């Protein structure tokens, strides 16, 4: 093995996803991931704290993008539009080019309760970031929290459709469409009980 290997992070991600698909997440070791990537375990730990982080390492960057997008949104937009817009823009900027990775990542997460819990924690952190950023714009409670949670619900639905589908729709388009569907659901009159 040479001292310097190009795209070590990408090779480690690819090797991990391949092994998770072949052997399962639980049965795959860091040593096997590093070996498959043609790297050392030491190199693996330069990029990831553990094998879970191969699947979740980008979360911090995504929340930073969300906070920035909320802060930069026009003041005239309602809170829900700001939150949905931030998620749509962050998805486009951060995830769109990684659709196949995202598909494979979700397949691994779906098979493991610990990883599903970690995914829920990530989504809760994103909602908290959105609510904090909305409060920073002067949005009062409970509006900030409700707007953030509703936007996350739309994003979660859009992300599932995006990773499961083979269509040409972007994550941004699906996020906005899911938000429109949520608005339609909440605007519909409830049937009366008789």
Alpha-carbon gap, residue 181 to 101, rounded angstroms:
27
In this structure, are 153 and 101 located in the same domain? yes
Q: What digits encode the pLDDT tens for the residues 37-75?
A: 999 999 999 999 999 999 988 777 788 889 999 999 999
Angle at 61 between CA 125 and CA 146, to 5 degrees: 30
In this structure, are 18 and 82 located in the same domain? no
Q: What digits encode the pLDDT tens for the residues 131-178?
A: 999 999 999 999 999 999 999 999 999 999 998 876 678 999 999 999
Domain holding 123: CATH number? Answer: 1.10.357.10
pTM, entire model? 0.85
The answer, yes or no, to whether residue 1 has pLDDT greater than 50, is no
Q: What digits encode the pLDDT tens for the residues 3-39?
A: 455 789 999 999 999 999 999 999 999 999 999 999 9
Crossing angle, helix 59-72 and helix 113-136, to 10 degrees? 20
What pLDDT is stored for residue 71 in this prediction?
94
In this structure, are 103 and 173 located in the same domain? yes
- Reference 23, options 59, 43, 51; nearest CA is 51
Q: What digits encode the pLDDT tens for the residues 106-137?
A: 999 999 999 999 999 999 999 999 999 999 99
In this structure, are 113 and 141 located in the same domain? yes
What integer best gives the mean pLDDT of the chain? 90
| Overall number of domains in the chain | 2
């Amino acid at each position: 093995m040479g001292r310097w290997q190009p795209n070590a992070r990408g090779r480690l991600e690819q090797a991990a996803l391949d092994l998770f698909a072949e052997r399962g997440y639980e049965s795959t070791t860091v040593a096997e991931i590093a070996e498959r990537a043609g790297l050392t375990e030491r190199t693996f730990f330069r990029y990831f704290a553990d094998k879970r982080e191969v699947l979740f390492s980008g979360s911090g960057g995504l929340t930073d993008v969300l906070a920035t997008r909320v802060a930069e949104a026009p003041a005239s937009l309602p809170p829900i539009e700001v939150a949905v817009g931030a998620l749509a823009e962050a998805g486009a900027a951060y995830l769109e080019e990684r659709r196949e990775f995202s598909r494979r990542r979700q397949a691994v997460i779906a098979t493991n309760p610990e990883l599903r819990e970690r995914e829920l924690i990530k989504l809760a952190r994103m909602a908290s970031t959105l609510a904090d950023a909305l409060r920073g714009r002067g949005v009062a409670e409970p509006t900030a929290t409700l707007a953030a949670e509703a936007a996350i619900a739309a994003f979660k639905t859009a992300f599932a459709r995006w990773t499961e589908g083979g269509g040409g729709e972007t994550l941004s388009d699906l996020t906005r469409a899911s938000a429109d569907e949520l608005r339609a659901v909440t605007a519909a009159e409830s049937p009366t009980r008789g």
